[in-house]
Each structure stands twice: as structure tokens, then as C-alpha cells.
Structure 1
């Protein structure tokens, strides 16, 4: 950094609503994510469903089962209603509303998983929904076993939604204010260590 003592400017956008966190059974996950996306689209919003590759098939099936028209970034499409994209494809995009599916799978699916999750969570200019069976904000690295991709193991203490929202905002603000992007993963790892129960 050329001027380490300088505090970088902070850009903060207040959304029209608090993030929605929907903890569901794995069998309900895709349907709930599609329902959230359709609700936003019905209100005229440009919607991104950010989905890890492990769950793409079930989300596509839920979209088809509900008769929902959608565009797919992996086919080079970007429609003006509902778009299904991977965390990697979401970089640089912005949507009125974003539905992020299973953050634990996003973190587990790539060696830069926490960075990709950060990217996914910041693609909205208005509304954010998280639909998951696991932790909505996994601070530790998680492993997804190939034979049981829907069963994710992690040892993060459960947080109530109010505390979780506060924690996510605080971590995001600190990351933006005090550290370059290449340090974010190390900071999240340290935060997870500090939050871990003793023993």
C-alpha cells in the first residue's frame, strides 16, 4: 500500500430491507429459493439466483417444475427477470435482488470460497435473501463429501438472525475499511477462530 496510514473511503448502501435468512430442510431449499426469486421478479426486480455447482441441477428442476422462465449465465444469457448464475459468474454483476443458495457449499466448492461468498453476498443493490440448510454465514472452512454433497460439516456456533446480520455487516465494513481483498480470507479465518467455542 502506498499510504498505509490513510483510511480508505467506505462506500455503504442502505437497502430497503434487512437481509432475509431462510433456514430450510435440504428437500425444500431449491423450491424456497425459486419462490423468493419469483416474488422479487413479480415486483419488477432484476433478480440473480447465485447457486453453487453442487446444487444447480436441483435449482434448475425447481425452476422448471414451477414454470419459471429464467436466463442462465453459463449459456451467455442475462435476462431482465430471473438469472441463474454461479458465484464465479456473479463477479462484476449487480442485481436489484439476489438469492444466495447454501453459502457453505459456496465456501467448500473453491479454495477461494470465502472470497466467492463475499462476492455473492454483495451483488445486490437492494434485496438479499439467503436460503440454506447449513450456516448462512460460514466463517470456517467446510468440507463437502462427494457422496453426500447436501450434508455439509462445519463447527460454527449457531447465531440468531439479528446477531448474524449485525456480525455480517460488521465484518464486511471492517474488511472494506482496513484491508485489501487479498487479506480477506485470512481475516475471516481468524474471526472463525475467535468465535469458536472453547475446547
Structure 2
């Protein structure tokens, strides 16, 4: 009995375009972000999904709506699939953060085991602790089924690190995850196999 998870990041947003940090804050999808979701929708249109889960952030929900492609399935929105909470960095330009907090920002990207959020944000370990139990619950509920999950850049990277058996300090060495890039996990007899990671072969430009 094979369980298959299809996981993706939301499409490009207006704040992505101007290098502004989002985290739990939000901004609308750009025209390109909508197009990225449409490209992935076409790629997945022949896949039967038994369930669709999305982060409760609107950029993820709107991506999930496009990907659902009028399937008669309710999109289940889950707070635990939201992006890592970036504390005081949310809503700030990346260039400003790099100037003010060069060490912390470098650790955020490349040394997650050392990164400590400024303000009421989350560490990578806290992100793992809120996402992995949810993934285990989804797998338990949907044995033998195919599930689509729409989330965010760092959240998806952390989820994939779990399935790839990466340790916390190794997450910074993992390849980045692009907008609407597809990850795929197949699970047989409780053993997960990474079939796809950050696959953007559906991009048309």
C-alpha cells in the first residue's frame, strides 16, 4: 500500500519580487506567481488527489486553489504549515536585515543550528517540532492515498530534511526550493523515499 505526498511552495509574491521578508506576514501572488501555479496545475492535472492541505497564509491558499483545478475536494488550511515565524524581520527588506544583522542572517540561510530569531520568531528546531507531527498525522490518515500539500520555502525545506534524514546543521546545505517547485515522497511499509526534490520541469520560461 503506497502513500504519496506531493509537496510544493506557493507561487511568487509581490514581497518576493521586492526582496521583503514575509514569514507569517503575507502579500499577494504576482502575475508570474499565478502563472507558476498554472504550470504546476497542468503538470498535476492527471493525478488523483484524495486530500489537499495548505498553509493558512493566503499566498499558499491561493496557490492551492489554482492547483486544485476544480477537483471536488475541500482545501484544508492548517496553521502548522505556515512559514517559519521571522519575528522582527517580517516586513523588512532583506538588504536592511543583512546590514543590521549580518551574522544572524547568514546563520538563517546556512547555519540553521546556530540561528536564533530576533523578536518573537521561531528557530528551525521549533519549526520542525510543529511541522513533523502534522506530516506524520497526515500520513496516518491517508494510508494508500495521494495527498497534495502547499506550504513555504523554509517550511518545505525542513519537511524534506526530515524525509531525507538530514540533521539540523545539514539543512543549510540543502538546495533552495523555488516557487511551485515539486517535491514528491512515496511511502511503502512506513519507509519514505524521496522521488522528487525542487523539481521545476513544469516551468515554461
TM-score category (smaller protein)? 0.3 to 0.5
Please give the TM-score of this superposition, normalised by the length of structure 1. 0.34
Higher RCO (C-alpha under 8 Å, 6+ residues apart): 2
Please give the TM-score of this superposition, normalised by the length of structure 2. 0.33
